[in-house]
């Protein structure tokens, strides 16, 4: 029985590798392969509302502020696992370095279109909260299970959620 399970597991892995792997010649979609370092083989990822939204949720919230909040309260990451705060802060620094470009992109949208004006407003409020929270963790390193360390993400969440909502409504943004 164990041999059969091992064979099935090996076949599943082989099928997954074959299905997921492709050479650059097989990629007719025009999309570039993004490697684990976050850069493409031939060019940087195209800057879109989706790109910014994904960055905001994954890099800033999930891999940054959310884990920091849990670390300060519980001494763990958001899923209860061990957290290397120095590693997290180093990665957050890299992610934060993209923010100026994203600020510029969002503020270049045509604000005479109501939904885009709302998106710009939500972004600017979110961006301000990113600055506040980032400056907090870089000026005073978070400490595990420290009730005196003030790290309030409530406004960030409020503004982020509204920004995400507007991003989902705008399919083809217009620029000034």
Which residue do the tokens 């620094």 mark?
A: 93
Local structure of 175: helix, strand or coil: strand
Instruction: Specify the pLDDT at position 4.
Output: 41
C-alpha–C-alpha distance, residues 27 and 43, integer Å:
15
Residue with more model confidence, 17 or 50: 50
Count of alpha carbons within 13 Å of 1, Cβ hemisphere only?
0
Short-list 79, 56, 68, CA closest to 130: 56
Bridge partners, 109 (sequence order): 175
Supply the mean pLDDT for the chain.
Answer: 83
pLDDT tens readout for residues 98-120: 999 999 999 999 999 999 999 99
C-alpha–C-alpha distance, residues 128 and 80, integer Å:
29
C-alpha–C-alpha distance, residues 143 and 146, integer Å:
6
Instruction: Specify the pLDDT at position 41.
Output: 45
Instruction: Specify the pLDDT at position 39.
Output: 44
C-alpha–C-alpha distance, residues 133 and 135, integer Å:
5
Q: Which long-range contacts (CB under 8 A, 24 or more apart) does 39-48 make?
A: 47/101, 47/102, 47/105
Q: What is the pTM of this model?
A: 0.75
Count of CB atoms situated within 10 Å of the CB of 169: 12
pLDDT tens readout for residues 115-174: 999 999 999 999 999 999 999 999 999 999 999 999 999 999 999 999 999 999 999 999
- Tell me what the mean pLDDT of segment 12-27 comes to: 37
Residue with more model confidence, 20 or 83: 83
- Tell me what the mean pLDDT of segment 55-76 comes to: 97
Instruction: Specify the pLDDT at position 44.
Output: 63
| Contact of 75 with 145, CB cutoff 8 Å | yes
């Amino acid at each position: 029985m164990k041999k059969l399970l091992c064979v099935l597991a090996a076949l599943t892995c082989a099928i997954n590798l074959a299905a997921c792997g492709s050479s650059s010649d097989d990629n007719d979609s025009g999309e570039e392969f993004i490697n684990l370092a976050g850069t493409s083989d031939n060019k940087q990822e195209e800057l879109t509302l989706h790109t910014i939204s994904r960055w905001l949720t994954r890099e800033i919230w999930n891999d940054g502020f959310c884990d920091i909040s849990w670390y300060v309260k519980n001494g763990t990451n958001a899923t209860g696992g061990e957290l290397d705060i120095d590693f997290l802060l180093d990665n957050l620094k890299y992610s934060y370095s993209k923010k100026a470009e994203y600020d510029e992109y969002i503020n270049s949208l045509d604000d005479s279109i109501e939904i885009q004006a709302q998106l710009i407003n939500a972004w600017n409020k979110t961006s301000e909260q990113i600055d506040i929270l980032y400056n907090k963790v870089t000026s005073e390193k978070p400490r595990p299970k420290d009730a005196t360390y003030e790290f309030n993400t409530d406004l960030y969440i409020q503004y982020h959620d509204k920004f995400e909502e507007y991003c989902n409504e705008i399919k083809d943004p217009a620029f000034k």
